[in-house]
Amino acid sequence: MNSKKYLSGLLMIMLVAGLAGSALAWPGQAAGKMKMDGLGMGRGGQGGEEKMFSRLDLTAEQKSQMLEKRQALEKDLLALRQENQTLRLKIGEEMAKDQPDRGKLTGYFKEVNDNRGQMEIKRLDFILDIKAGLTPEQKAKFKGYYGSKTEKK
């Protein structure tokens, strides 16, 4: 009996460590911070949107549109984050059972990963939408931020 509790506890620790490792694999994702590109765009970012606005020299109208789009994105992402939090609780509850149902766990993990994929696609759509509204000069600055990351490899 004690060995079952020990094994169950060990599995829970491994599960939590695995989920934490996934969160930490994305820079800025831990602790609710989200950076979107080195432009200073994200919650917890240093300077946030204002930093990006000044770097790209956005007009007041562009700033307003970008903030509206950003708020819509955050609303969409919040729903997915909340769904993943609920799924993680279900995973924890299932793992705490003497005989966890592998099928349920697999389904929960697939849903979490599907939600993560949806979040990344929503972020991508946001960035592409923002980029489409930039002037050629602003696009060059915007491209410079992305290009510097890929050229270092």
Phi, psi dihedral angles at 51 (to 5 degrees): -60, -45
What are the structural domains of the chain?
2-151 (1.20.120.1490)
Phi, psi dihedral angles at 7 (to 5 degrees): -65, -45
Q: What is the pTM of this model?
A: 0.62
Higher-confidence residue of 86 and 145: namely 86
Rounded CA-CA distance 135/153 in Å is 28
What are the pLDDT digits (tens) for 37-74?
A: 444 444 444 455 667 777 888 888 988 898 899 999 99
The mean pLDDT value for 78-90 works out to 96
Rounded to 5 degrees, what angle do the CA atoms 61, 64, 67 make? 150
- Tell me, what's the pLDDT at 29? 43
Asked if pLDDT for residue 17 goes beyond 80, the answer is: no
Asked if pLDDT for residue 28 goes beyond 60, the answer is: no
If we measure between CA atoms, which residue out of 37, 32, 54, 62 comes closest to residue 134?
62
Q: With contact defined as beta carbons under 8 Å apart, do 131 and 147 qualify?
A: no
Confidence of residue 12 (pLDDT cuts 50, 70, 90): low
Instruction: Give one DSSP letter per residue of 6-68, joined into a string.
Output: HHHHHHHHHHHHHHHHHHHTSTT-GGG----SSSS-STT-SSHHHHHHHHHT--HHHHHHHHH
Asked if pLDDT for residue 139 goes beyond 50, the answer is: yes
- Tell me, what's the pLDDT at 42? 46
Asked if pLDDT for residue 114 goes beyond 80, the answer is: yes
